[in-house]
Each structure stands twice: as structure tokens, then as C-alpha cells.
Amino acid sequence: MSDAPTGNEADAAAEEAWRSSPEYAAWRERYDAATLRDKPYETMSGVPVEPIYGPGPYPGEYPYTRGVYPSMYRSRLWTMRMFAGFGTAEDTNARFKDILRNGGTGLSTAFDMPTLMGRDSDSPWALGEVGRAGVAVDTLADMEDLFADIDLSGVSTSMTINGPAAVVLAMYIAVAEKTGVPQAKLAGTIQNDIFKEYQAQKEYIYPPRPSVRIVTDMIQYTAAEMPRWHPVSISGYHIREAGSTAAQELAFTLANGFAYVEAAVAAGVDVDEFAGRLSFFFNSHSDFFEEIGKFRAARRIWARWMKERYGATKERSMLCRFHTQTAGVSLTAQQPEINIARVAIQALAGALGGTQSLHTDSFDEALALPTEKAARIALRTQQIVAHETGAADVIDPLGGSDYVEWMTDEMERQAEAIFAHLDDLGQGSILEGVYAGIENGYFVGEIADSAYRFEREVNNGNRIIVGVNAFTDGDDSDQSILRIDASVEEYQRKRLADVKLGRDDAAVQAALAAVTATAADPTANLMPPIIDAVKAYATLEEVSMAMEKEFGTYVEKAII
């Protein structure tokens, strides 16, 4: 044996070096100041583990690659947020109360397709879609039913809606007011990310520029009136579902974030006044290390751009805090039970990527809306990741792995190339670059190309999807799926007709005229007249169309 140190001795010396560094000491001070979860931090076999391994920069420190908070899941696990909404408002209200009874504090609302498109249940467009993929909301009366007997000052509500987001938020504010809860006490998030609608999800109403004006009005309004409300959740999830690569998801999403920042700053809001309440929503797909690299790169890029390009000074403005959902598009209709394994791996990637909240998909979602049992299994899956795997005990446990660090850099490099293209398109403005990319079909074209490449790989067998193009034996399951009773549509139409009969039509028309007039004045904020209109029981479609009179509609160029 030589005198040279063994591998173990060298590692121990390196660990000694960074644990005695001033950077570690500074981080440790913040970590020690945090309240920790009351549990032993040791392995299943009783080996004690440190909160972090490897040199800085540490979590909770710029550029936040390793996490947005100093103690991460040692203080608080990610929020296990599950999406619910189907049928009538009463049906969903019952599920909400179930969630609250079981100790949940976060309500997450899915709306049906007509609602998402600003259409009422009696619109010819709504045929066959009322209450199918979420809850139908036509008027304030439905919102009152949706949150009946729930104390809105004590819950955090997430509402997944974009095109008509202002109208739905106005209804939520009106319901709260009626039950004696001031809007300043309301907590929650409304997705309200219109850019990704043009790029991927396609649930827009107006052309991009007036739509962004509505978003900035909401940013301004909530900044002034609703300190606990998150006015935009910038969402890459749908971009990925539409077929993008991980790097495209990362880049398009963050670029959209930069664009909102530029729009709000242009509208006169100080960046530190609102940036801290922007949040993100990413997809977690099956390529484990690529996903983790993507999440880590997202934090680093956002922090750097906010600080260096947009001059943010508050730490909170630089934090890329995000919600994650497992990849619905990865779920197979063949042998659906094996989706549970996919979801588990994707959920683990989300946790190792440092997500703030997580929705795990139900295994039957490639077939229909989840059944109650499937939704429970999905929740149990992330509980296993949180409580059994030890993944939450050490912060950024994969940080320092040569592969993961390289992947993080690679994701960042690809994203920066896309930002450079958009910056160029917009002649120095990401906002203008995003508008231009929407108009010239850049985003949809890139996403369609990626989706087609993936399908070709699956089709020619170069990419194996278990149960689809390999290992196909055993697809004999007879799944019971959730079906929405067709009578929901009829019920909802009747309810809407009743509401229309019982309201003061003159007041409705006056309120709608005020909405149109405000839309015509770019210096006015749309929220107050919209709140007045929904209080008069103007319908979602009426208010949406009152704005459309001024804003026009958007028809996508069919680009393949």
C-alpha cells in the first residue's frame, strides 16, 4: 500500500474543506434558524444524514440552483395539491368539503371547456361539453354553489382558467364579499397565463395584445388589493403536453415569464411589487435526469434574468417557485395500471428537482376523468415518495453529480439559445419576441416538430413505450371509468335560464356597457367594472363578449 490517500480519505478531506468554508457557515446559520419538521433525519437503517452534501452555492442562495429555500423539505414538504372539478357546482362543492374534512387546505378547481372558453352552458358551442372535463360556471350563482359553506378566508384556492380569468376571479371576489370575507384576505392562485394558450393549450378568446392587457390589469389590481393572491401561474405544463422537448418547455415558459414582467413594468408597476407573486408550473416527464436538470436550470435562469436584466432587488422576485404535475401525455391507455409506476418515477423527479407543490396524475387519465380510487392511488404515490424514500431528507441530493450538473448546464444552454432567438425577433424585447413568435407560428411549429419526431421514434421502435410498442401482453384490463351524466348539461341550462329570469336586465346591460367602455380605455383597469357586472349576475359569456366587442377574437392560423 502506498501513502497516497485512499478514495475514502480524499472524499473525507474534501467534505471537511467545504464544511469548514465560510459559505457553508453562512448557509448553516440560515438553515439552523428555520423550523424543521419533527422527525429523525436518518436512513431506514439508522444512518444519520446531513441536510446537504457538496459545496455551494447553497439552497436559498443566489442563483438558487439547489433550491429556493435554505431548508427546503426539511422544514416543509411540498404541497400535495390535487385537481378536482366535474359536473355541477354542487358536485364539486361536495368534493371540496371532502378534501377539507380530510385535512386539506388547498382547493384546486378545474372548469369545463365552455367555461374555459368564456362560453355559457346554453351556447351552441357548449353542446356535449357542459360539466364534462370540469365544473360549469355561468354566473355568480354557480360560484356561490361551488364555494357554499366554505370559509374562504381559511383556504387557498387555485383556479385553472386563462381566457376568462378576470371574470372568474371577479366572481370569486364577489362570493367572498357576500360571505363577509374582504378580498384582501383571499389566498390563492389563478393560472391566467395567456401566452401559453396561443403556444400550446389554445384556450384563448381575444388576440394576444388585449389579452395581455387583461393580465397586466389583474397583476396591477391584485398588487394593490389582494396581497395574498398570485395573479399568474406561468405554465410550461401544457407546452410539454403539446409535444415540446424539456428544453423548449423550460425556455418558452421562462420567456413567457420575462414577457409578463416586461408588460407589467411597461404598465407602470415596479418589478419588485409583483415579481414575487409570480409562480410557475412545470411538467414532470419520464426522462428522470433530464427533468431534474430542467428544474434546477429553471431556478438558476430565472434568478439571473430577474436580477441582471430586470433589475429585481428583492430576493423573492428572483425565486422560481413552481408547481409540478406528472406528464398526463405519458400515460398509456394500454395496460393502464402500469401508469402508476410512471407517475411514481415522475413524482420522484419533481421532488428531487425541488418542486413547491405536486399533482400526481391518476393512472386512468388516458381513458377519462379519474375515478375516486385512481385519484387516491395517485395521492398515495406522492406520499410514498415523501415519507418512505428518504428523498425529502436531503436537499438537492443529486447536486454535485457530474451528470446532473452537466444536464442542468445543457438545459440552460438550450434555453438561452431560444431566449436569444426571441430577443432577436423582438429587437431587444422578449415581450415583442413572444408576440412575434405567436404571430409567425414559431412556437406552434417548434412544438409540432418535436411532437412528430417523438411519434416517429415510437412508431419505428427507436423509442420504447412499455405496453404500447413493446411488452404489450397483458392488456386485458376492464377499467371502470368515471362518466359524467348527460343530464348535467340539461340541469345547467335550466339553472342558467332561471338566473337570467330573476335578474335586473337593465342593470346587467348597464354593467356590460361599462365593461366595454373600460376595455376601450387602455389606461383604465378592467377589474372593477367586471366585478360590478358579475354582481349583477351578468353571465361569463356576456362579460367575455362585452370585452370582445372592443378586443375582437383570435383565430389561429392552422400551422402544422
Partner 1 sequence: MARHKRSIPELYAAARSGERRALGRLLTLVERGGAGADQISELAHPDAGRAHIVGITGAPGAGKSTLVGQLVTDLVAAGRNPAVLAVDPSSPLTGGAILGDRIRMDDAAEPGSGKATAFVRSMATRGHSGGLALAVPLAVRVFDAVGYDPVIIETVGVGQVEVDVVGAADTAVVVMTPGTGDAVQANKAGLLEVADLFVVNKADRPGANDVRRDLDLMLDLSHMTGQESETGYRPPIIMASALHGDGSGDVWDAVEAHLTHLDEADLRAVRRRHRIRTEVRARLEQAMAAAAETAMNSERGSQWLDQAERTEIAPTHATNQLLDVLLSDPEEH
Partner 2 sequence: MTDTSATDEAPEQLRVILAKLGLDGHDRGIKVVARILRDAGMEVIYLGLRQTTDSIVAAAEQEDADAIGLSMHNAGHMTLAPAMVKAVDEADLGTPVIVGGIVPEDDIQPLLDAGVAAVLGPGTSAEGVAQAVRDAVAAANA
Please, are residues 320 and 298 in contact by the beta-carbon 8 Å criterion?
Answer: yes
- 501 near partner 1, rule: CB under 8 A: no
- 241 near partner 2, rule: CB under 8 A: yes
Cα–Cα distances in angstroms (integers) from residue 366 to residues 244, 246, 447, in the given order: 19, 21, 21
Question: Smallest distance from the beta carbon of 129 to partner 1, in angstroms?
Answer: 12
Question: Smallest distance from the beta carbon of 560 to partner 1, in angstroms?
Answer: 5
Q: What is the DSSP string of 452-515?
A: HHHHHHHHTTSS--BTTTB--TT-----------THHHHHHHHHHHHHHHTS-HHHHHHHHHHH
Q: Which is nearer to partner 2, 349 or 484 (CB)?
A: 484
Q: Which is nearer to partner 1, 145 or 489 (CB)?
A: 489
Rounded distance, CA 176 to CA 178, Å?
5
**Among the listed residues 61, 129, 138, 217, the single contact to partner 2 using CB under 8 A:** 129
Q: Which is nearer to partner 1, 110 or 126 (CB)?
A: 126
Question: Smallest distance from the beta carbon of 469 to partner 1, in angstroms?
Answer: 23
Strand arrangement of the beta sheet that strand 357-359 belongs to: 79-80, 357-359, 322-326, 278-284, 232-235
Question: Smallest distance from the beta carbon of 457 to partner 2, in angstroms?
Answer: 11
**Among the listed residues 82, 117, 250, 345, the single contact to partner 2 using CB under 8 A:** 117
Q: Which is nearer to partner 2, 52 or 545 (CB)?
A: 545
| CA torsion through residues 165, 244, 468, 363, sign | negative
Question: Residue 556 CB: number of other CB atoms within 10 A?
Answer: 12
Q: Tell me how many residues contact partner 1 (CB under 8 A).
A: 13
Q: Which is nearer to partner 1, 197 or 291 (CB)?
A: 197
User: Looking at 152-160, 301-309, 387-395, 551-559, which segment touches partner 1 (CB under 8 A)?
Assistant: 551-559
Q: Binds 552, which of partner 2, partner 1, none (CB < 5 to 8 A, cut-off by type)?
A: partner 1
**Cis peptide bond upstream of 336, omega within 30:** no
- 452 near partner 1, rule: CB under 8 A: no
Contact set for partner 2, span 188-217 (CB under 8 A): 201-203
Contacts of 414 (CB under 8 A, 6+ apart): 247, 250, 251
Partner residues linked to 323 by β-bridges? 281, 357
- 207 near partner 1, rule: CB under 8 A: yes
Q: Which is nearer to partner 2, 17 or 470 (CB)?
A: 470
End-to-end CA distance of the chain: 66
- 266 near partner 1, rule: CB under 8 A: no
Question: Smallest distance from the beta carbon of 201 to partner 1, in angstroms?
Answer: 19
Partner residues linked to 188 by β-bridges? 157, 229
Question: Mind spelling out the 3-state secondary structure of 315-349?
Answer: HHHHCCCEEEEECHHHCCCCCHHHHHHHHHHHHHH
Q: Where along the sequence are the contacts to partner 2 (CB under 8 A)?
A: 113-114, 116-117, 119, 124-129, 132-133, 201-203, 241-243, 329, 332-334, 366-369, 447-448, 451-452, 455-456, 459, 468, 479, 481, 484, 486, 555-558, 560
Q: Which residues bind partner 1 (CB under 8 A)?
A: 124-125, 127, 207, 439-441, 552, 555, 557-560
